[in-house]
Amino acid sequence: MQKLRLRYTKRGRLRFTSHRDIARTFERALRRAGVPMAYSQGFSPHPKVSWVGAAPTGVASEAEYVEVSVVERVDPAALKIALDEALPPGIDVVDIVQAHGGNLTERIDASEWRIELDGIEPETLADAVRAFLAQERVEVERLTKDGKRIIDVRPAVVSALVEPRSSDAGHDEAGLSQPCGILMTVVRQVTPTVRPDDVLNALRVVADLVPPVPARATRMAQGRLDDEGRLVDPLQQDRES
């Protein structure tokens, strides 16, 4: 049995699609592409597909990961082409590698997020970020199915900075007006998970920063933090093996 590790995107309107629906779409695409899937044993066999750290509903992503097990050897390059033809616009397969041991989940302990705050001056956002980073604790309130929960956001945030707008192809700036503050932040994947909206709520707590329109968040990368606080590509080890 061969195990393949895929990186894919979630763009455009698909940011509002739940992970459950993304998973169903992906599994249908695997069947349409004729992938010789491996199945579990038992009365209700299901394809051996493992999802890693899926982005929450409402945010886009350039770096989602999934592991797929097959019963016949598959060429990763050919599979990438076949899946891109079978998947809807917005889900694009960026990379496929053959797994060479190890646990993919253990190679991911942080995410880099790009958060666009339309209507917020970059200087105003920078002041709020400095105020946040100067704190040891910043508690926010989150509403869960079990009621309200208090979360300390500050320990999870590794870095945060404001960057100028650009025309980089990795993200879509259509619809953004001037002014627009763009926050780039690296957040550890802790328990409970600190999400982009938690970071924005923390900026509201420390600096009364309230965007006039909903912010737009995109996960740009996932990986393990190195000694310098940079994210290491979780597929790099497989690619080099």
Contact status, residue 202 vs residue 136, Cβ threshold 8 Å: no
Among the residues of 109-195, which ranges form H helices? 122-133
Give which of 8, 213, 223 is closest to 104, Cα–Cα.
223
Contact status, residue 189 vs residue 108, Cβ threshold 8 Å: yes
Contact status, residue 196 vs residue 59, Cβ threshold 8 Å: yes
In CATH, what number is assigned to the domain containing residue 77?
A: 3.30.70.580
The pLDDT, as a whole number, for residue 166 is 53
Residue 171 predicted with pLDDT over 90:
no
Give which of 47, 86, 54 is closest to 69, Cα–Cα.
47
Evaluate whether residue 199 is within a structural domain: yes
Same domain, 131 and 203: yes
Given 64, 80, 99, the domain boundary residue is 99
Same domain, 164 and 207: yes
If one counts every other C-beta atom within 10 angstroms of the C-beta of residue 57, the result is: 14
Evaluate whether residue 239 is within a structural domain: no
Same domain, 148 and 179: yes
Using pLDDT thresholds of 50, 70 and 90, give the confidence band for residue 169. Answer: very low
Same domain, 75 and 169: no
Domain extent, residue 186, equals: 108-231
Average pLDDT for the chain: 91
Evaluate whether residue 152 is within a structural domain: yes
Token duo for residue 104: 């993919």
Phi and psi (nearest 5°) for 15? -60, -25
Same domain, 128 and 164: yes
Token duo for residue 75: 């060429």
Distance CA 155, CA 74 (A): 42
Evaluate whether residue 238 is within a structural domain: no
Total structural domains within the chain = 2
In CATH, what number is assigned to the domain containing residue 179?
A: 3.30.70
Each residue's pLDDT tens digit, 4-27: 999 999 999 999 999 999 999 999
pTM of the prediction?
Answer: 0.89
Using pLDDT thresholds of 50, 70 and 90, give the confidence band for residue 64. Answer: very high
Same domain, 83 and 127: no
Evaluate whether residue 241 is within a structural domain: no
Same domain, 6 and 40: yes
Evaluate whether residue 26 is within a structural domain: yes
Give which of 29, 170, 67, 112 is closest to 21, Cα–Cα.
29
